[in-house]
């Protein structure tokens, strides 16, 4: 795609390059007199004017719907014409941009635009919790399906893999000692209980989640759920934290569901027979949806024949 790339020569200069032509100019020169250790490059506005501004205009006029700018930092703020051209490019097409984490009006303004999807590389998933719901009795399955073999491991392990490395806090809520033992061996917190209802699993899972921005409730019986879908839910919640988010396939919402912190009180006070869907229906904002990577990600294994079909899907996926 058309775009600009900046590169630094430590202790010497920063260069701006137009990707389509390979032409580059200096936009910053190292100045040992500036306070350090960071930002010791003195801006060279003439570089932005001679190449940066016209290159951004060419990006806006180029065919295709995307452009890329890597990166935008404090040097760029020294040239108002370049800043204006960058904003014009953002209005003209979709822009993939790397923005420095600095408290400067231009950079903060870019990140706060309502049409921007922001990924903070220092903390990409924010401060979210996750409850893996592993309390099912498997009545339709005929046994504890969560411990059934799936790809050489108990089925519920797939939920641990799909939610790993994303959440600030994670807990598995289960009524099965075998599952709690598996979690202990993996260093994952588990709550072992004997409560009868789904609302109890929700309430117990939220213990210790105060102070977080939201919490994902993930069923433990969707063995093809991918980490990519879970991560996309977390990123969506970071960018729009005031509404619930749920995984979907072709517009049909399903689970997992990520609730904002404002819903924690309602989730803790669910009535008999109620689950998280009652909070979704009563909420002030309709849940957003994140499309899963395929139709089988949101399928659970309520019966042995359903688990066999999902096993076949896993085998084919591994063959590919």
DSSP 116-176: -----TTSTT-SEEEEEEE----TTTTS-GGGSEETTEETTHHHHHHHTTT-SEEEEEES-
Report pLDDT for 154. Answer: 95
pLDDT per residue as tens digits for the range 93-123 = 999 999 999 999 999 999 999 999 999 999 9
What pLDDT is recorded for position 251? 93
pLDDT in tens, 52-98: 999 999 999 999 999 999 999 999 999 999 999 999 999 999 999 99
| Percent of the chain at pLDDT exceeding 70 | 98
Tokens of 253: 């919402």
> Coil, helix or strand for 58?
helix
Strands 94-99 and 66-72 come out as: parallel
Can you give the pTM of this predicted structure?
0.82
Predicted confidence at residue 38, as pLDDT, reads 66
Cis peptide before 43 (omega within 30 of 0): no
Mean pLDDT calculated for residue range 278-306: 92
More confident residue, 136 or 218: 218
Rounded to whole angstroms, the Cα distance separating 275 from 238 reads: 24
Q: What domains lie within the chain, and their CATH numbers? A: 3-112 (3.40.50.300), 128-319 (3.90.550.10)
Helix extents (H) in the chain = 45-47, 53-61, 80-92, 105-112, 157-163, 177-185, 198-205, 227-239, 264-268, 276-282, 304-319
Note whether 79 and 106 are within 8 A (CB).
Answer: no
What mean pLDDT is reported for the chain? Answer: 93
Give the Cα separation of 292 and 299 in Å (integer).
11
Each residue's pLDDT tens digit, 159-178: 999 999 999 999 999 999 99
Contacts 24+ apart (CB under 8 A), 163-167: 163/130, 163/132, 163/216, 163/218, 163/227, 163/230, 164/227, 165/227, 166/125, 166/128, 166/130, 166/227, 166/230, 166/231, 166/234, 167/125, 167/128, 167/129, 167/130, 167/216, 167/234
Query: What per-residue confidence (pLDDT) applies to 320?
Result: 58
């Amino acid at each position: 795609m058309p775009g600009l790339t900046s590169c630094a020569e430590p202790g010497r200069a920063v260069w701006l390059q137009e990707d389509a032509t390979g032409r580059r100019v200096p936009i910053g020169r190292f100045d040992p007199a500036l306070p350090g250790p960071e930002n010791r490059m003195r801006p060279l506005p003439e570089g932005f004017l001679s190449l940066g501004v016209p290159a951004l205009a060419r990006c806006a006029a180029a065919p295709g719907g995307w452009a890329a700018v890597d990166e935008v930092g404090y040097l760029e703020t020294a040239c108002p014409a370049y800043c204006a051209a960058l904003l014009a490019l953002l209005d003209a097409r979709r822009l993939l941009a790397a923005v420095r984490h600095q408290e400067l009006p231009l950079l903060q303004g870019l990140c706060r635009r309502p049409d921007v999807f922001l990924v903070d590389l220092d903390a990409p998933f924010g401060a979210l919790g996750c409850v893996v719901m592993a309390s099912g009795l498997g009545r339709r399955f005929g046994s504890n399906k969560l411990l059934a073999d799936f790809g050489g491991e108990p089925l519920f392990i797939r939920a641990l893999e799909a939610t790993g490395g994303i959440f600030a806090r994670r807990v598995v809520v289960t009524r099965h000692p075998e599952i709690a033992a598996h979690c202990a061996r993996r260093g994952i917190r588990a709550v072992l209980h004997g409560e009868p209802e789904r609302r109890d699993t929700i309430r117990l899972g939220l213990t210790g989640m105060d102070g977080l921005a939201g919490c994902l409730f993930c069923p433990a019986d969707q063995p093809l759920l991918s980490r990519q879908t879970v991560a996309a839910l977390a990123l969506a919640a970071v960018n729009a934290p005031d509404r619930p988010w749920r995984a979907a396939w072709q517009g049909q919402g399903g689970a997992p569901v990520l609730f904002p912190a404002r819903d924690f009180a309602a989730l803790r006070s669910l009535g008999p027979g109620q689950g998280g869907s009652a909070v979704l229906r009563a909420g002030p904002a309709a849940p957003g949806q994140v499309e899963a990577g395929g139709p089988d990600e949101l399928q659970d294994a309520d019966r042995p024949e359903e688990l066999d079909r999902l096993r076949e899907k896993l085998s084919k996926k591994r063959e590919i």
